[in-house]
Structures are given as structure tokens and as C-alpha cells.
Structure 1
Amino acid sequence: MKIGDHVTIGEGSVIQAASIGSFVSIGKNCVIGKFAIIKECSRIEDNTVIPPNAVVPSFSVYSGSPGKLVDELPESIQEIYEARTKDRYAKFVPSTD
């Protein structure tokens, strides 16, 4: 599995994808099937199921079970996702346990 830069994956999600491009947001409780390809600059909404071998194109929003195209993202989404992940990383405090 390859995962690009600035990717967020929500809690409870199960990822079995072949690859996830950079600048991707995967919501909570999603299932990404085996060998699926999530291209860069895309968003998977909460509770979405992407079937095995599916290809999610760039600048798309997928939702539902099975996941279907529901919207498109602006070309500026790359900068938005990058700023969001940098902000989360800056707030990260490692556990001392």
C-alpha cells in the first residue's frame, strides 16, 4: 500500500487500498476495499464504502455504500488540505507512556 503526503484517515476506517494519493481526506468509519486506488486531491465522506478495485478520480467527493461521486472539489483543495494537516501536526503532543 502506498499513501501520499497530507492524507487524513478518520477513526474506525478500514483501509485495504492499493494506493492513496496525496492531499486526500478519508472520513470516519469508511471501508476502502482491496486494490482500490484513491487519486490525489479527493475526499471520502464518513461511512462510505469504496468497493475493491474501484478508482476514485482526482478532485472528487465520494459518499454512500457503495461510494458514488456526489461532488467535485476546487483546484485549491491541495493548499487547504496541506494547511489542515500541518495545523494538526503542530498540535500533536507525543505520549510519554
Structure 2
Amino acid sequence: MFSYYPMKIGDHVTIGERSVVQAAQIGSYVQIGKDCVIGRFVIIKDCCKIEDNTVIPPNAVVPSFSVYRGSPGKVVDELPESIQEVMEAKTKDHYAKFIPNTETR
């Protein structure tokens, strides 16, 4: 029998190239690096960074304001409380590149 569980992704989330994400939930203001593997039913809380080439095993919970690295991923650092504003500005700047400039028409 096959069960379908929808993935919930918050606001201002970036996912790097070639990453495989099978998480149940990704909070807001999360950065997932390149070539990462996020296992089934993982919960990533708000304001986290998963560095390049990190593997998060199934059913893990990544706490808020943490930086994960390695295989399997482990906490290696903490993020400042200002990370929310930094991530929001970064994602808005990135997506602004895809909005056509109406002044040149």
C-alpha cells in the first residue's frame, strides 16, 4: 500500500542544486545547500542552514537556529536571531531577478 504525505515548505526557503528532499516539513527562513539528502519524514524548524553535501537521516528533527553539516548531519554551529531578516532579503533579491522590469516597456 502506498501513502502520500504532502511536504510543507515555509516562506523564504532555498534548496541547492542536486539536493534530494523527502522531508515532511521545512520551516521558514531555511537554506539547504547543494548535493544534500534530506530523508523521509524529516522536520526542519524555522531559521536553519543545512550545509552542502549534508545527509539528514529519516525522522530527524532539525532545531531552529542551527547549522547542520556532515553525513550523518550534526549540529556544528548556531545562527543569530537576525538570520530571519538576512534570509528574507536574500530570497527577495534573488526572485526580483525573475520579475520583468515594467519601466523598459
TM bucket (normalised to shorter chain) is over 0.9
* 1:69 partnered with 2:72: no
Instruction: List runs of 5+ in structure 1 lacking aligned partners.
Output: none
State how far apart, in whole Å, the 2-side matches of 1:20 and 1:59 are.
Answer: 13
Equivalent position SS for 2:46: coil
Report what 2:97 is aligned to: 91
Q: Give the aligned length.
A: 94
Question: Percent of aligned pairs with the same residue?
Answer: 81
Larger radius of gyration: 2
Query: Amino acid of the residue matched to residue 18 of structure 2?
Result: G
Superposed CA RMSD in Å reads 1.0
Read off the aligned partner of 1:54 and give its amino acid letter: A
The runs of 5 or more residues in structure 2 that have no matched partner are 1-6, 101-105
C-alpha displacement of 1:93: 5.8
1:19 — aligned with what?
Answer: 25
Runs of 4+ in 1 over 6 A off after TM superposition: none
- Partner of 2:23, secondary structure, is coil
TM-score (norm 1): 0.95
Aligned to 2:12: 6
TM-score by length of 2: 0.88
